[in-house]
Structure 1
Amino acid sequence: MGLIQASRGTRDILPDEVAYWQQIEATARDLLHRAAYRELRTPIFEQTDLFERGIGEATDVVGKEMYTFLDRGDRSVTLRPEGTAGAVRAYIEHKLHAQGGVQRLWYVGPMFRYERPQAGRQRQFHQLGVEAIGSADPRADVEAIALAADILRAVGIQDWTLSLNSIGTKADRQHYRDALVAYLQPYANELDADSKDRLTRNPLRILDSKDEKTLAIAKGAPSILDYLSAPSSAHFERVRDLLQRLKIPFAIDPCLVRGLDYYTHTAFEFKVDALGAQSTVCGGGRYDGLISELGGPDTPAVGWAIGLERLVLTMQQQSESLPAGADIYCAARGADAEAQALEIAQRLRQAGLAVEVDLSGSAFGKQLKRADRSGAPLSLILGEEEAVNATVQLKWLASGEQATLRQFELFEQISLLQEKIMLSKPAKRI
């Protein structure tokens, strides 16, 4: 029988890479906690109707990309292609609006879309997202954008650009849609196949085409900013003013429309040019009509999602490998020494240190080579002599400095040991 491999469009995240994921998640968790966001965990699959109504049947996501199937009860269910619809369903189902105020929620987890796999785009991919539900104030838009900028900066991504647009209200978009179709109609035969289809179903998505000829045509299209109502223009002006006050640079992009039907007013994307075609690492915007569309009260909201695969790719391009997790590598040989090594490791772990114990039983030379490769600053060495005398050898792997301590002295000096280990670890580049 042949070797079983991961399904096309999925990939294993191996331990060396997981360090990046953990750094992102820990950083985001801390920053979002400081901004009063609370974590929400929703199911990986939902009723198909949730995405058809929420995302829009005319979108590529619903029309071409969803993993939809009948369960054993002949109910149509779909693996979630994005996180907002599920978060909104939970908000409505559990009546979170009854708590009053703004519900600041965040989530992280896998999403699923049937797309052509490439670097930064998988059929199972992961997003970290936020939803601020309950405020129509432009400050909510800017707070969300600022949080995304903070997270990107905190994990070492400095060379991002922020593209910003307003797509107004549903009424604004209808006026603009009519003007856009009138402009594009004479070019209908020159558009790419997808854009020809979108001309009648979802013409705004033509502005987001990746076809060069279509993009050249779209550049001459009227700007949606010229079709905004006075309140929509005022909202967008306030967003721009607040971003400037926070010193968050941005560029207006009238062609930025995002790919989902539920967006209103502010739309934005953070891009990193080094990623090439898959340059968008974070995208989002306001979606004031979605909650009522899904049966909830009329409630404004804004949110975004970061694509973790793309963010990790960027981090890998811009930084060295993260330091290994171990503080101490414990090498031991001989039955008594190996038993004592386990006891010592257990006590050091309980005191807050990360300890890797060599379980090979091989010669000390081989164990110490593994200690060097582990990235741990310190190695503890126990042989037969140390076991008899209840001592341990300490070896600082970078300098070669070595000392012998009684085992009880080792535990008495844990605070000093922790401090020296922290100083010996290389600074993280992210």
Structure 2
Amino acid sequence: MSNVIAPHVTVRQPGLVLTDHLFDLPLDHAAPDGEHLQVYAREVVAAARFAARDELPWLLFLQGGPGFPADRPVGTGGWLGRAVQEFRVLLLDQRGTGRSTPATRQTLPLRGTPAEQADYLAHFRADAIVRDCEAIRARLTGGAPWTVLGQSFGGFCTVSYLSYAPEGIATALITGGLPDLAADADAVYRAAYPRMAHKSLAHYARYPGDAVAAARIVRHLADHEEVLPDGTVLTPEAFQQLGILLGSGDGSHRLHYLLEDAFAETVDGPRLSDRFGEQVAAVLSRTTSPLYTLLHEAIYAQDGRATDWSAHRVRAEFPGFDAVGALAAGDPVLFTGESVHPWMLDVQPGLRPLRETAHLLAARTGWGPLYDVEQLARNTVPVAAAVYHDDLFVDTEHALRTAAAIRGLRTWVTNEYEHDGVRAGGSAVLDRLLRLARGEA
């Protein structure tokens, strides 16, 4: 690797002590003598507990995504401040992300052909992440089970963990991440598009002028080529993906402020402003997180069938999301959320080198099961889950159906938070889930 990390380096922040860990793990845990990769994790301990040499139980944090590294802590704010009061926290950069062996447009060509890249990435789903966690746990905890906190896709991984290695978990906490145990990608997106429409209309109800602003932008993009500072060609469909902001607590406000700076007067007439372009590029770019696009639909695949660009196919069943057609009919522009589409491989320069790999993964068959329904039905691990009632990314009905299928799981259903509740809520969400899991609430 070029980004060699010295393991066990310890640094200090106000209130925290951080230690690097690097683990050499099999690419395929079923073939431990085969190729290996490196997985990075950051240990976080409260400075006072570190100084006192306290023996602390471990809490493993599994990040959302797929394809994003774990949080980079700065001090003791938010959920982490609550966690380090009683835990030694491990922030895992899931395989292919952050400081683990990277999987990007720069590194994946080293694997060989697009077909070889796709075969490699087939080992990057939740089942492999769970096996990574178990190998790491054996080295860090002396075999003791740990508490697992799974956010979004990290919650999906936690349900896989409960399915296939429940002996590794003392307590499971899930925030906005209860997957449907049986639904395929098509069912997931058929439930998702109506939520996206609802979120779009709720945004316009809050900021009525934004319907006019979005319509002007779409009309402009239909007639003019606009290239963002990072080289992304902003099409009407790409503009609609700004709806991903509506899944966070402050996202509607952020989207509003972004739209109000959309245009600048130039010698060529009105064009999208540089300020707008920079902000849009920051939201839409997947250059540093290509796995989010390459593997997003694969996280729902477990019936052997290809996902075949599910979100793109299902979108055709909801004609209201045709932005140009909607305007012609006098309807508002609807934003989309986390859906991925084949045209993204054309308009985003950071994804173009991986175009063929992405298509091969979308056409791939033979995906195995991610959950064991029978094991979950006889679960004995304490589990508590926050289900956000208006969650843009995870369907509430699907989540509650899964909650009922996991023996002993206690839910907290709330519309107080959006999908980012565990971060936006400070210590409140984690504290509530700990009390639920312990029978204190």
Structure in which a larger fraction of residues adopt strand: 1
Give me the TM-score of the superposition, normalised by structure 2.
0.25
For the pair shown, the structure with the greater C-alpha radius of gyration is: 1
Q: Which has the higher contact order (CA 8 A, sep 6+)?
A: 2
